[in-house]
Amino acid sequence: MPRTRRARLPKGINALSLSLVLLGALPRPSARGEGSLAYSYADYSETAGRVGVHTTGILARQDIGMGLNFSVTAINDAIAGATPTGIPAPAGSDQVPVATLHDHRKAWETELARQFGRVHVSAGYALSREHDYISRGLSLNTLTDFNQKNTTLLFGVAGHEDSVETFYDVQQVYLGRHSFSGIVGVTQLIDPRTTVTLNVTWARDTGYLSDQYKEVQKTIEIVPGSFFTLVFPENRPSERNSGVVFASVNRAYPDLGGALEGSYRFYADTYGVAANTLELKWLQKLGGAFVLAPDFRLHEQGAAGFYHYNLDSTNIIPTYIPSAGGPAYTSDYRLSSLFAVTYGLNLSWKPRDWLRLTVDYSRYNMRGRDGVTPQSAYPDANIYSAGAQLSW
């Protein structure tokens, strides 16, 4: 009987994962308000019957006295569609095999924050549940003002403990995945119109890091002269260190009634993946109540050192039970060399001081760059979202 498969968004979308798109669509509360309630809906739909994700979210914030602010975020995902298994396309075809999937995810996050003089401290707890994946996380962040509030320093740490259901070893149905990350950053006001930000993030992941639904294929000589094409689970290394350098500049143009936001992100990890992401956004005021914001994003990455579209071109002998001590291999297109473009348009309307409405559309296009993996493995997607916020 086929297994229910979890939806995994493309790697290029992970920095733009649907939950993050949704949270970005949730309007932020006014700094002068005592509380706010925001709702957002997002639809991520890959073309050609691929993965579709429908997400709803609620974000509530409230000042509770003694300088404390409490917030709760709830996310609900419904996932369905088809996704590549990792098995190469049949001989004579350029269409990679796909498997149908459906899943449902519920996630919650709470945050408690307080201002201590120049230091703003926030602590958070997050929980995400799917039928085969549970994730729990803690975070602690501080923002410290210096130089008459012209300079802000960011320090933060976060950790996650995940439990992943697997299907290969009856002795170990659930395996652990652990992660820890830290961030250090600075935001500097250059002049009344310009701010720059530089953040550095380091993360370490250990445990079962494979996608339990991704597979590889290998033609093996079982007995002399007899060859069989067999399917095996992928096997990624059991540890990964990664780093991110993020830089951005925001520049206001009062004469034009607009502002430019530009950012660059460099990512590298011990899998051998290196990626560059460039994003530009223009925010244009239209009258006193509307803001129109087109944006454009480029993402490119190199392949992991253990990515192979077809294991038949290697000497690797895969196993039916993934092992940290064995060779690493994957045919997951998200770890291949690829290029992605995202462009979109956001419209925000504030008809009242206590009400803000937003709508957003983005188009996502991904293409492979290794000249081997068929383009049918890489998705295109339309992303729609709408949100509303009440403040008091």
In a domain, 1, yes or no: no
Instruction: Specify whether the CB–CB gap between 240 and 212 falls below 8 A.
Output: no
Strands 380-391 and 68-84: unpaired
**Residue 3 domain-assigned?**
no
Question: Given the DSSP bridges, would you call strands 258-269 and 226-233 parallel, antiparallel or unpaired?
Answer: unpaired
What integer pLDDT is reported at residue 140 of this predicted model?
A: 98
The burial class, CB within 10 Å (0-12 / 13-18 / 19+), for 301 is: buried
When pLDDT is averaged across residues 246-271 and rounded to a whole number, the result is 98
242: CATH: 2.40.160.40
pTM assigned to the model: 0.90
Answer yes or no: is pLDDT of 28 > 80. Answer: no
Establish if 2 belongs to a structural domain. Answer: no
Q: Give pLDDT, residue 33.
A: 55
Q: Give a yes or no: residue 5 inside a domain.
A: no
CA angle 269, 271, 274 (to 5 degrees): 50
Number of domains comprising the chain: 1
pLDDT band at 16 (very low <50, low <70, confident <90, very high): very low
What average pLDDT is seen over the chain? Answer: 91
Confidence (pLDDT) at 20: 44
- Residue 4 maps to a domain: no
The pLDDT assigned to 151 comes to: 97
What's the Rg (C-alpha) of the chain? Answer: 23
Give 25 or 321, the one with higher predicted confidence: 321
Confidence of residue 167 (pLDDT cuts 50, 70, 90): confident
Asked if residue 7 has pLDDT above 50, the reply is no
Query: Which CB contacts under 8 angstroms, 24+ apart, belong to 309-315?
Result: 309/88, 309/336, 309/370, 309/372, 309/373, 310/88, 310/217, 310/372, 311/216, 311/217, 311/218, 312/217, 312/218, 312/219
∠ CA 99-105-107, nearest 5°, is 150
What range defines the domain where residue 335 resides? 11-391
pLDDT at 160 over 50: yes
Model confidence at 319: pLDDT above 80:
yes
Backbone angles phi, psi at 379, to 5 degrees: -95, 160
* Average pLDDT value for residue range 230-240: 96
Alpha carbon distance 94, 88 (integer Å)? 9
27 has a pLDDT exceeding 90? no
Q: What would the pLDDT profile of 77-112 be if each residue is shown by its tens digit?
A: 999 999 999 999 999 999 999 999 899 999 999 999
- d(C-alpha 246, C-alpha 277), whole Å: 9
Tokens of 238: 């059991």
> ∠ CA 142-145-148 to the nearest 5 degrees?
175
Residue 231 lies in a domain: yes
Residues 270-308 have pLDDT tens digits of 999 999 999 999 999 999 899 999 999 999 999 999 999
Using alpha carbons, select from 15, 11, 9, 46 the residue that is nearest to residue 201: 15
* Helix residue ranges, H only, 80-142: none
Q: What is the mean pLDDT of residues 247-254?
A: 98
In this structure, the number of other CB atoms found within 10 A of the CB of residue 374 comes to 16
Query: Which carries the bigger pLDDT value, residue 4 or residue 257?
Result: 257
Assess if residue 6 is contained within a domain: no
Other CB atoms within a 10 A radius of the CB of residue 86 amount to 28
Across 63-81, average pLDDT: 93
